[in-house]
Structure 1
Amino acid sequence: MQVYTASPEELLASLEEAAQPLLFPSESDHPLRPFRWDGGDVPSPSALRAAQGAAAQTPVEVTTVGDFFAPVLEPAEEAGDAALTDAGRYRQLVALLEAHLTDLRVYRVGSVDIDVYVLGRHPSGAWLGLRTKVVET
């Protein structure tokens, strides 16, 4: 059962606090930042491209929160203590998203230098979540 107690502003502040120490790993690690989708309706691939000023042929992949966060939630045993500590922080972050947002989805916009949006619908109707960047060559 989901609990909807935080306002959009409170949730964004909680997401910022929970994500503060984390860098999402890729070929170049980047922070996770709170994000509010101001596009109105459900974010669509074309709306995300337009918001970024990206070309119409820019690829947009839609995936799940579980698939996106899987590598950081279950690090390899040889990854070390820091990765295990971060995995606990990522679990808390995902739990926060799942407790306050519905229709969670992850949008990966671009190729190589990829903008990532983790978004869900808040009870107020606003689309909120996190934004980061991953580099995959």
Structure 2
Amino acid sequence: MNNNVIQQIQQTSYDLLMMSESEYPFEVVFWSGEGQESLTNQKLLQLTNHPLETPIETVELDYFFRNCAEEQEWHDELQKQNVQKFQTLIKTLKDNLTNIKVYRLGSISIDVYIIGKTAANDLAGVSTKVIET
């Protein structure tokens, strides 16, 4: 079951770039058995090997992708295709994971983890990076 979830997330995030002041790919995240209890900020920092004093901001999935997953009138064909890809990724995450949250770790160079719980109580999702100065 989980391999299927991971495969779907990999397929829908493949070749997709998160746009900010730079462009970063998405990587699949999977932590086996870690969904038994709530994902606290401290636990996330441990799982991602960040210092415990790293600032964390949590945002909603749709809010995080608001600029990528909505077609605009001025988009060219490639941008429209990317919007479709982002919508597919969001749908895949929502279809396969519960309690999805977007965690933004750090400032300026921000590590982003989009994590939810699988049916088998594992934690899964994608990570990327955004640059905001």
Q: Secondary structure at the match of 1:42?
A: coil
Q: How many residues align?
A: 131
Q: Deviations over 1:21-77 (max 9, x none)?
A: 210101111011111135823322122223344333321011111111111011443
Identity between Structure 1 and Structure 2 (%): 27
- Alignment-mate amino acid for residue 24 of structure 2: H
**TM-score if structure 1 supplies the norm length?**
0.87
Q: Deviations over 1:62-106 (max 9, x none)?
A: 111111111101144324221111001111111111111111111
Question: For the Cα contact (< 8 Å) 2:33–2:121, is it kept in 1?
Answer: no
Give the unaligned 5+ runs of structure 1.
Answer: 1-6
Matching of residue 62 in structure 1 with residue 58 in structure 2: yes
Matching of residue 28 in structure 1 with residue 22 in structure 2: yes
**TM-score if structure 2 supplies the norm length?**
0.89
Matching of residue 47 in structure 1 with residue 27 in structure 2: no
> 1:43-122, aligned counterparts within 5 Å?
43-122=39-118
CA distance in 2, matches of 1:66, 1:30: 19
Q: Cα 1:121–1:111, aligned 2, differ >3 Å: closer, same or farther?
A: same
Q: What does residue 3 of structure 2 align with? A: 9
CA distance in 1, matches of 2:62, 2:2: 23
Q: Secondary structure at the match of 2:121?
A: coil
Q: What does residue 132 of structure 1 align with? A: 128
CA distance in 2, matches of 1:29, 1:126: 28
Give the unaligned 5+ runs of structure 2.
Answer: none
Question: For the Cα contact (< 8 Å) 1:39–1:47, is it kept in 2?
Answer: no
